[in-house]
Structure formats: structure tokens, C-alpha cells
Amino acid sequence: MLLPEELKHQIEEKYGHPIRYPKDCEALAAHISRITDGTISASTLKRLFGFNHSSSQSNLYTLDLIARYIGYANWDDLNELSRTTDQEKDPDQIPISDTEPNLSTVMDRQGKNRRLRWLSVMGIIAVVVLIGFYRIGRRNLWYELAPLPEVRGGGGFINYNGDLFYLGGMDAEFIRDNNWRYSSIEHIWREETPMPAGCAEMGCTLFENKIYCFGGWLGERLGPTDLAECYNIEKKSWEKLPKLPLKSAGPAVTIGNQIYIIGGTAGGNDETPISNSPSGNLVYVLGSSIGRSTKTCFFRYDPSTKNYTKLSVFKVQRVNVSLVVVGNHIMAIGGNSFRDGEYMVNKEVDEYDPISNNWIPKAPLPEPLTRSNALFKDREVHLFGGSGLYENNPKAINNQHLVYNLETNNWRVENSLPYEVFGHRCTHQNGKIIIVGGTNRLPNPSRKVFIEK
């Protein structure tokens, strides 16, 4: 059963957002349940809105629930008011079921049905052909560099003078300790000194020829870690750093000038005592703990004193944000969270000012996204890929390329990526964007490395 268009509009008006994609039904189902104190599944809504095709009819309980959601007593009440409204518009209108078609009418309808079926088939063929040309054109915007030595997603990623470092991450089964370096001259990957222990989703940032790694994910059994370490690129050696104030996993970035460095991790207990440090060369650490409700934490690390400082967090707390430096500020984009036990993907965007220690909300994403990756190029923020639902849902992974304009505070859609992916990493070199690894076909990550033509 499909809902009438007018009823769909009433539901969207009550919800406050258009239902354009199947994933929109996830949040709508939760909203209907909260408003009506009833239960309705996202799959039922997908069928009613026409995303899933089914010949089954919805039961009266579901229809009553929808009617109550938009302000009616029940489904019969909604239908009665609708019939009254229709008769007021045209009192002489005879219901179509009261008319009896003659033989010529039946023949005409059969002919029209045949023509409609033929047009439908030709339309489907045309759409398939157009999609094929679109995908070919899309891939022609990119070409592949030497792939990673093995499949990886969620690793640390650094662009060092044109060479690329990929540290740790996950394959289809295990957390890994690799430290791969891509030579921009030879165009090959080589293994350098491995990490002291395998880790994924750690916060990685570059400072004074060293790669700083904060926290990360050790796997389902061990969870997040509070370990911190740095890799001396010239000496090819690792050094332990003071532990994070809490166990966490998340992104890290570098900002500013010769004084400041910003970065981050996620997870842990916010009540852990944190030491203060004076201003100087600073690394910012962003993160969150996931329990019944997500709680974000934000730190600053001073490499000269090796101390952490607790900082303010954005209003809508979440994890798996994409963190990117914009001038002397930081933008946290999207992410996901648990609120009262309910999983949500976020579209909030916030900008951090290190001087005032404040977060400022910016224009939200066109749709919720988590585990995307972003970079700043030509005074615009570029956001790539990500997931719109639970990460184990292959339909949630997308290939979007969204661009945020600082001056207009608006997002727009650009040419998409050559494949759907989340948990990937990106950078730009000589004006061209590079996309590395990530997961595009569950449960296996990818080895692919793409660069713009």
C-alpha cells in the first residue's frame, strides 16, 4: 500500500523534513514512535512511501498510528474528513467505483496499458544506459595510483612533503600495525618501522617531522586505548608520549602557524583529572565516549610540556566526526551518536575558535553523514563519502563529494567519487585530491588509491 501524496505531505510537514531517501524513514519511525507512544518500523514506512515495493496491505494499527501522528483520532477519522473535504470541493462528483465501464472503455484501457508497459521498459533501458555513461564519466575524472599493499580502512594518514604515510587500520578481520610510506617519486609503497602495537581510528597529526598518534581502537575485545606515541620520520623510530586523560578513538588535525597544532581522539571517562598547560605549541584532541548517551570530550596537547588541557565541546555531542582545519579554526562535520540508547547519524557542523575556546554552529550537511573525510582546498571545505546509517548496512555507504563555501555558509554537491566508501582518508597534492583506502564493500576494506585527473 502506498500513502496518497497529500498524506505524505502532511507527514513531512509534521516531521519538519522531506522524506526523499529510504534512510529518512529510520529517523521518521523514531519520531512517530516518540510522538504517538506507539511502534512503527522503518521498513513499514519505506513501503508506505514507495521505497520498498510490496503487495501486502498495512494493518489498521499502523494506519491509526499515522493518523494520530498528524493530528487525527484514528484512520477512520482521517478518511471521513478527507471524503467530506472532497465533496465540498465538487459536490456533483461521482465516485469512480460507482461507474461501470463499457466494452470500448475496457479495450481502450488495455491498449493504453500495453503502451504504458512498453514505454516503461524503454524508460528503464534508457535509465540503465544513462547510469552506465554517468559511471564511466565519473570514473574518468579519477585515475588509480599504486594501491595499498593490503586492504585497509580506518588507519592514520599523513601527507609529508608529497610522500604519503598510512599507519595501522583494519583489514576484514584484524587491527594492524603497518607503517606504509608511498614515494611520490617512485610511485610505490614501502614498509617503514611498524607501530609499537596495532591500532585503528587513532588521531594522527604531523608536527616538526614527527607523526603524533593519540588513542585509537584496539578491537572489539579491548576497545579504545589511551596510548599516545610519535614517529620520528627522519630517525624511523617511535617514542612513547604521556597517555591521554581517557581512553578514546577519533580524528586529529594540525592547524595554524608556527605556534599551534590541533588534533583529537575519542572516548573514555570525562571525570578523569586533567592537567593544565600554558599556551605554546599545541595539539587539540577531540573525542567521545559511547554509552547510553554519547559524551564528547576535547583536549589540547602541548608537545613542549607534554601536558593535556581540557577544552569546551560543541552542543550536539557526537563521535566519528570529520575534523578539518580552516585557517586558524577547526570544523567538526557530521558524525554519529547515541541519545537515550537510540543510534543517530548527525548532520551538524561546528567551527572551533582556539582563542575564545568556543564552538560556533555552521550550515548543516544536506543529509546526515558519519565517517566521512574532509580537507580544506581553495578556501572551501571538501567532504567525501561516508555512511548515512549503521555502518554494517551496505546501502548506507555513499560516494558523495560535498563542498562547503566559507563566504556563503552553504553546501553544494560536486562530482562524486569513483566508488562508495567510508572510513577512508584524503589529502590534496599539487591541487589534486587523493582518496586512500576505506571500506566500500562490507566487510572488506579497499586497497584503492585514487587521484584527480
- Contact, 212 vs 227, CB < 8 A? no
pLDDT at 107: 43
pLDDT at 267: 35
pLDDT at 277: 28
pLDDT at 112: 60
pLDDT at 188: 94
Going by C-alpha positions, the residue among 396, 382, 253 that lies closest to residue 336 is: 396
What pTM, to 2 d.p., does this model score? 0.65
**pLDDT, averaged in runs of 10, over the chain (453 residues):** 85 86 87 85 88 77 88 84 52 39 45 65 66 49 91 93 94 92 92 95 89 88 89 96 86 63 39 31 49 74 89 86 90 84 87 94 94 92 86 70 95 89 90 89 82 86
> Going by DSSP bridges, is the β-strand pair 322-326/329-333 parallel, antiparallel, or unpaired?
antiparallel
pLDDT at 402: 96
Query: DSSP labels for 312-373?
Result: ---SS--BS-EEEEETTEEEEE--EEEETTEEEE---EEEEETTTTEEEEEPPPSS--BS-E
